[in-house]
Structure 1
Amino acid sequence: MSAKDGASILVVDDEDHNRALLRAMLGGQHRVLEAANGPAALEVLVAEQVDLVLLDVMMPGMSGYDVCQKIKQRTGEAFLPVLLVTALSEQEQKNLGLQAGADDFLTKPVDRRELLLRVRAFLRLRSQDALIRLQLKQLAQLQNTKDEMLSLMVHDLRSPLAGIVSHLSLIIEDAPEGHLREDAQAALRSADGMRDSLEEALQIRLLEEGQLPIARAPVDLKALVRDAAATLEPTARRKRIQLSTAMDGEPIASVDGKLVRRAIENLLGNALKYTPAGKDVSVAVRHRDGTVEIEVSDRGPGIPAELKATMFEKYGSVEAKKGGPRKGFGLGLYMVKLVADGHGGVAHVLDRDGGGAVFSMRLRSAA
C-alpha cells in the first residue's frame, strides 16, 4: 500500500524530531499530516480528512488531554481514534487520558511494530464504524420509504372503504329481517373494523411526524372509559368475559379525549383477545396530582420478562418475537406509547396477581 492510497494520520507533537520519527515509521504506508500544537491540530481536523490521531500529551499551552477532549466533543462526527503518545507511565496519567476520551496509549520510545499494529486495529474499527453508519442510514431510508408507502395505501383505501360502508348501511336500512340483513350487518362490522385500522395507521404516522398535535381539553374520565368499554362490550359478551371499569380521584382531566379513548380501546381489544372465555378484564383509572393513570388488566398468558421492555415498540407483538404466527400488525400498543409520550407520560406492562398482565398508561394532565 502506498502513502497516497493509505489512511490519513495526524501526528501532533511540539518536538520536531518526535514528529519526524513517527512520520518515518508511518510514511511508507499512510499519508501523514503534522501539527506542532493543539490549536494547529484542531485546524487540520477542520481542513483535512483525518482517519486517526497520534497525540503527544506533554505540550505547552494546550495539553494533549485538552486536545483529545476537544476532538471527542465534536458532534455528528464519525468515530475518530485518538492514541495518546506519552512518556508518562503512572496510572493516574492514563486515567486522565481515558477521562478525556483517549482510545489507547503508546509509550515513548515508540516501538514501530506496536505502532503499526495498533494503528491497523483502530483503522479497522473506524472502517467498521463507517460501515455501520452507512447501513443505519440505508435502513432509515428503507423505513421512510415503507412508511410513505403505508401512508399512500391508507389514503387510497379510505375513500373506497367509506363508499362500502355507506352502501352497506343503505342495504341494512331497506333489507328485511333475515339472513341477508344479518350478513350485511356482519359485513358492515368488518368494514368498520378495517376503517378503524386504517385510521389508526394514519394517526400513528401523523404522531410520528409530529403532525397530529395533542389537542387537550377538559374530559370526563369516567364517561371516556365507559364509552371505550361499551365499544368492546359485544366482544366481551361473546367470550363470556366480565368487563368492569373503575374510577378514582378527580373526574375531569385535560387530555386529548379522542386519542386517549383510542388508546384505551387498543388496550381493551388486546386484553379481550388474549383472555380466555369466562375470565375477567378490568379498566381502572386514577387521577391525582395532575397525573392520570389508566390500567387495563387481563387474564391472558402474561408477557415474558425479557419482552416487557420492548412490548410497545413498533411491530412489537409477542407472537412475532417468539417466532409464532403473527396475530396482528403490532401497531396497537405502539400507538398507546405514542399517545402516552404525547401527554408527557409513559406506557409499561406488569404482571397481574393471579395470572395475566396489566398494561398501564400514565399521562400528565394539564388540568
Structure 2
Amino acid sequence: MSSKQKILIVDDEKINVALLTSYLTETYDVITASTGEKALQIVKKEEPDLILLDVIMPGMDGFDVCRIIKHDYKLDFIPIIMLTALTSRDDHQKGIEVGADDFLKKPADRFELDKKITSLLRIKEQHDTLLMDRNKAYEYLDYVGVLIAVLDKNYKLIHINKKGADILGYNRDNIINRNWLDLFVAESYAEHVKNKYDPLQQGQPDGQEYHEYPIMTITRKERLFRWYDSVLRDENGRVASILISGEDITEKRKDEIKLMEYANQLKHSNDLKDLFTDVLRHDLLNPAGLIKSFTEILEEKNPTNEQKRIIDNIKKSNLKLIELIEDAAHLAKLESMEEMVFVRTDIGFILRETSDNFSHDLKNKEIKLDMTPNASYPALANPMIQGVFSNLLSNAIKYSPDNTKITIKVDDVGNRWKVSIADQGDGIPDKDKAAVFDRFNRLHKETIKGNGIGLAIVKRIMDLHDESVGVVNNPEGKGSIFWFTLKKAQI
C-alpha cells in the first residue's frame, strides 16, 4: 500500500489533467475524474486527502460537487482547491459559500499549486490528528473504569459513558432522560445527594474534593461510589449541567475493613509475641537457672558414677535450654528493632577478642584456628556485630570434626570489608543454603543441624546493617564458608 497522500483531479479537459498530473505524480498518488458525477463516486470510495476541482464542467459543475462533498457527504475534512478561469468577486463568494478552501487560476502555476497543496495538506494533518485525539478521548471515556455522567438542572441523566451503563447494568438508550435521584439513588440517600448537588447547580461548590454515596444497579443492589463533581457552563457562563464521575469502591471498602480487622489481629498477635518474649526472659529462664543451681548442689553430694552421668546430662540439656531461651529472646528483640546506631569499629580487634573467648572450645576439639586479621580494619558497625562473629565461630567449632582447621579472613572488596569463616565440617547441601538463615523455613529441614535461631540472629543483625551475609562451599575440600560484609569507615 502506497504511503503517499492521495489527490483527486476533477477536470473535463484532458490537457489540464495531464499538466496537473505531471506536476504531482512524483510526490502524490494521483487519481482523476472527468465529470462531477464520477468525482462524487470516487470521493466516497477513495476518500482522497485533497481535491483539485474545476469549476466549469458539463453537467454538474464544480460548485455543486463542492457543496455535496462539504455539506451532504459529512466526510472528515477534505481540502478542496477550485480551479477556475473565472475571476469575479461573485464567483469567489459562491465558492466560499459551498465550502471551497482555496482558489487557483487556470492555467495553474506549478510553484503556487505546490504551495497551496502543501499548506492545505498540513492543515488536514492537524485536523486528522485532532480528530484522532478526540476519538481516543471518547473511547477512553467509554471504557475507562469509572462511571461518567452528565445531569441537567432537573437531575435528568443526559449523558452516561458506556462503562457507566455497564456498571449499572442498563442499556444507555433506556436510561437517558431518566431522573438520576429517582432511578439510581436509594431513597434513604436521595435527600443527602440533593443537598450536595443543589448548591453545585447554583455555582456554589462546597469545596470538598469528593464525597461518597451508594447507587442502585438494575438488580437493585447497592454499590458504593466515590464521586468527583464539576459544573458545565453554557456560552453565557451560567451553570447548564453537572458532570459527575464515580469510582466503584465497594470492594475496596470491604478490603479496607478486612485490612483493619487484620491490623487489629496483627496488633493482638504482636502483643502476644511481646508477652511470650517476657515469658521466655523471666518465667522460663528462672526455672532453668534453678535447675542449674540444683545440679551444682548435687555434684557436691559425692554422687555415684551413674548419678554423675545423669547430672552431667541434665547440665548439658539445661545449658542448651538456657541458650535457646536467651537466643529466642534476643531474636524477638531484634525483630522489633527498625534501625541501629553505627559507630567506628575495628573489626580486626573484635575478631581477635572473640576468638580468644573460644580458645577453650578450640583446645578441647584440637581445632587449629588460622586467623589472618592481624591488622586494623575500621568499619561502621553496631556493637551487636560481635554477636554475628560469635555465632558464626561457635557454629564452625560445633559442627567441625576434631583435629580440623577453621580459617578466618578479612578481604578488601572496594568500599567494604568481607569477613569469612571457613570450616571443614560436613557442609550444607546447595538446596538448603538459602534456608539456613531463615528460622521459619528451617522447621522441616532435617538435613540442617541446629535450631537455627543463632543464624536467624546473624541474618537480622546484618539486615539492620543493610549488609549481606551468605554461605558457600569450602573449595578446600569439605565444609562451608560463612561470610558477611561491612562498610568501611572513613580513615
Fold in common (TM above 0.5)? yes
Asked whether 1:331 is paired with 2:461, we answer no
> Is 2:184 the partner of 1:26?
yes
Structure 2 CA distance, aligned partners of 1:311 and 1:202? 19
Indicate whether 1:340 and 2:462 are aligned: yes
Counterpart in 1 of 2:483?
360
Matched, 1:128 2:255: yes
Q: Does 1:318 align with 2:485?
A: no
**8 Å Cα contact 1:283-1:295 kept in structure 2:** yes
**Deviations along 1:54-103, whole A, 9 cap, x unmatched?**
4469989xxxxxxxxxxxxxxxxxxxxxxx95xxxxxxxxxxxxxxxxxx
Residue in 2 that maps onto 1:155: 282
3-state SS, counterpart of residue 362 of structure 1: strand
> What is the letter of the counterpart of residue 192 of structure 1?
L
1:42 match: 209
Q: Name which of structure 1's ranges 346-355 and 174-183 shifts more when overlaid on structure 2.
A: 174-183
1:205 is the counterpart of 2:312: no
Partners of 1:285 and 1:295 within 8 A in 2: yes
Residue 276 of structure 1, CA deviation? 7.9
CA deviation digits over 1:187-216, x for unaligned, max 9? 333333322222222223333444997696
Taking the aligned partners of 2:303 and 2:153, their CA distance within structure 1 comes to: 101
Q: For 1:267, which of 392, 400, 409 is the aligned residue?
A: 392
Flag the 1:281–1:132 CA change in 2: closer, same or farther, 3 A: farther
2:291 to 164, 186, 201: 164
Amino acid at match of 2:356: D
Whether the aligned pair in 2 keeps the contact of 1:284 and 1:295 (CA below 8 Å) is yes
Superposed, which structure 2 residues align to 1:214-253 within 5 Å?
220-227=349-356, 229-230=358-359, 233=362, 237=365, 244-247=370-373, 250-251=376-377
Contact kept? 1:232, 1:265, Cα under 8 Å: no
Give structure 1 stretches of 5+ with no counterpart: 1-9, 61-83, 86-105, 107-117
- Evaluate the alpha carbon distance shift between residue 365 and residue 174 of structure 1 in structure 2; reply closer, same or farther with a 3 A threshold: farther
Letter in 1 for 2:266: L
Structure 1 contact 249–288 (Cα < 8 Å) conserved: no
8 Å CA contact 2:422–2:481 kept in 1: the answer is yes
1:53 aligned to 2:226? yes
Q: CA 1:164–1:350 in structure 2 vs 1: closer, same or farther (change >3 Å)?
A: closer
Q: Structure 1 counterpart of 2:226, which letter?
A: V
Counterpart amino acid of residue 333 in structure 1: L
Q: Which has the larger radius of gyration?
A: 2
Q: What residue identity is the alignment partner of 1:284? A: K
Aligned equivalents of 1:353 and 1:234: distance in 2? 23
With 162-171 and 246-255 compared, the bigger mean Cα shift is at 246-255
CA contact (8 A) 1:319 1:325 kept: no
C-alpha distance 172-245 of structure 1, shift in aligned 2 (>3 A):
farther
- Residue 225 of structure 1 and its aligned partner are, at CA, apart by 3.9
Q: CA deviation at 1:155?
A: 0.8
In the other structure, the counterpart of 2:314 is 187
Identity %: 18
TM-score by length of 2: 0.44
Normalised to the residue count of structure 1, the TM-score between the two structures is 0.56
The one-letter code matched in structure 1 to 2:285 is R
Partner AA of 1:146 in structure 2: K
Q: Secondary structure at the match of 1:294?
A: strand
Gaps of 5+ in 2: 1-145, 161-179, 213-222, 234-243
Distance 2:400 2:156 in 1: 75
* Equivalent AA in structure 1 for residue 462 of structure 2: A
- Select the structure with the greater relative contact order (CA < 8 A; seq sep ≥ 6): 1
Alignment partners' CA distance in 2, 1:169 and 1:261: 30
